Structure 1
Amino acid sequence: MFAQIVLFDGFDPLDVVAPYEVLSAGGNAAGGALEVELVSAEGAREVPSGVGALSLRATARLDPGRGGLLVVPGAAGRLEGDGDDTVVAVLRRALGTELPVLLREAVDRSGLVVSTVCGGSLLLAMAGLIQGRRATTHHLGLDELAAAGVTAIKARVVDDGDLVTGAGVTSGLDLGLHLLERELGPRVALAVEELFAHERRGTAWRDAGAAAVPLAAEGAGAVA
């Protein structure tokens, strides 16, 4: 199996590095069953992040034709020399590249699971690619995600079949572990949890089981 993690100018480094390390370790734990590569819409290049002078190198061009996993990060901070430091502004600039065309091919591709960390789901939503789907993002962006026609779920990880999304930046660890358990099995995921001394938080939301009825806060009925 092959996993591609997308880089674009202004990406959030933790959104990339957390799933990269988890998926890479999972591939090692599974005897090489998963390979991970950093990619960009333009091909091999140094890609500046939105955090200081930190950059990462994409080693190949994003290829939607390859099956497996695709991870889309969110954005962070200001690009050097750019006065607009909002996350949404950075995402809009990414939409002005070839990236949304390639992401559309990826979303439409059978056999490819598209996943996101933090504002990566906003990027897909702003590109018009996930209307009507269930997804999550950083808690500050849930309203914006809903305004883009997405059913926003307040959960750490939301598994909507071939779309798997993570919430805030550190959820990249939990997203990666969920993908490992789903694709390679729980023993591989547990081995990586133990390696990184990180126990997943919360329950991954899936469209399964009985719907929950609204619950009152404990003791609320006793409050006058």
Structure 2
Amino acid sequence: MHAQIVLFDGFDPLDVIAPYEVLHAGGTASGGLVSVELVSAEGPREVVSGAGALVLRATAALDPARAGLVLVPGAAGRTGAPGEAPDHDAGAGQRQQDASIPVLLGRTLTTELPVLLKAAMDDPEVIVGAVCGGSLVLAMAGLLKGRHATTHHLGLDMLDATGVHAVRARVVDDGDLVTGAGVTSGLDLALHLLEREVGPQIAHAVEELFAHERRGTVWRHQGPAPAAF
């Protein structure tokens, strides 16, 4: 499985680094069955995060045709109203730090990212994953209508508003769409994908390596619906 983790201006570093390390370790533990790279819609470039001045480098362009997994992170910044105007007079790094999370997520819709993500969603051979606000990027692009997904608890109403079946769970597995809630859920999402796609022994070895026990039940739209308590 080749994983491409998407960087965009204002991304949340933990949404990227947590699954990157898990998947990279899974590749090592499995003798190369998993590979992972950082990509952007624009191609190789330095990408400014929304957390201080931290910058990561995308080494390639997002290419769904080469991917087994495309993973979209959320953004880091201030909480604020979706209609809040960005400060175009500030430098790129300062704009990322000063902008609200809804503004940073909304900016992705003005790039080629939605087109590339649609190509990934349309390919049954590609798994699309999202951590935290990454689900909102997909939802705002009109790609999750009728699907089951989760995001940070502050964004669940926004998911509902776009026609998504929002689920209050840490990880939601909807087949070729797998989403995680808050930022640390990226660890659990990546470990779940390792177990599902490569095997439980590899996932367990990586879990032990990072001294991290996955939290909560992975929600699937299966079995009987629970009665009210």
| Structure 2: distance between partners of 1:172 and 1:81 | 26
| Structure 1: distance between partners of 2:131 and 2:155 | 12
Find out whether 1:80 has 2:105 as its counterpart.
no
Partner residue in 2 for 1:168? 182
CA contact (8 A) 1:48 1:54 kept: yes
Q: How does 1:33-44 map to 2 (within 5 A)?
A: 33-44=33-44
Q: Report the count of equivalent residues.
A: 215
**After superposition, what is the alpha-carbon deviation per residue over 1:136-191, rounded to whole angstroms, capped at 9, x for unaligned?**
00001101111111000000000000000000000000000000000001111000
| Structure 1: distance between partners of 2:171 and 2:225 | 18
SS at match of 2:195: helix
| Structure 1: distance between partners of 2:93 and 2:42 | 19
Q: Determine what percentage of the aligned residue pairs are the same residue.
A: 70
The letter of the residue matching 1:165 is T
Partner residue in 2 for 1:130? 144
| Structure 1: distance between partners of 2:8 and 2:101 | 13
| Structure 2: distance between partners of 1:48 and 1:81 | 9
Q: How does 1:110-149 map to 2 (within 5 A)?
A: 110-149=124-163
| Structure 2: distance between partners of 1:80 and 1:67 | 29
| Structure 2: distance between partners of 1:9 and 1:210 | 42
- Runs of 4+ in structure 1 deviating by more than 6 angstroms, as ranges, are none
| Structure 1: distance between partners of 2:134 and 2:200 | 26
Partner residue in 2 for 1:61? 61
Partner residue in 2 for 1:184? 198
Gaps of 5+ in 2: 79-91
SS at match of 2:50: coil
| Structure 2: distance between partners of 1:71 and 1:32 | 19
Question: Which TM-score applies when normalising by structure 2?
Answer: 0.91
| Structure 2: distance between partners of 1:109 and 1:175 | 21
Partner residue in 2 for 1:14? 14
SS at match of 2:94: coil
Larger radius of gyration: 1
SS at match of 1:25: helix
CA contact (8 A) 1:66 1:112 kept: no
SS at match of 1:158: strand
- Please give the root-mean-square deviation of Cα atoms over the aligned residues, in Å: 1.2
The letter of the residue matching 2:128 is V
CA contact (8 A) 2:180 2:186 kept: yes
| Structure 1: distance between partners of 2:197 and 2:143 | 23
**TM superposition shift of 1:195:** 0.2
SS at match of 1:188: helix
**TM superposition shift of 1:211:** 1.5
**TM superposition shift of 1:84:** 5.5
Partner residue in 1 for 2:81? none
| Structure 1: distance between partners of 2:196 and 2:119 | 23
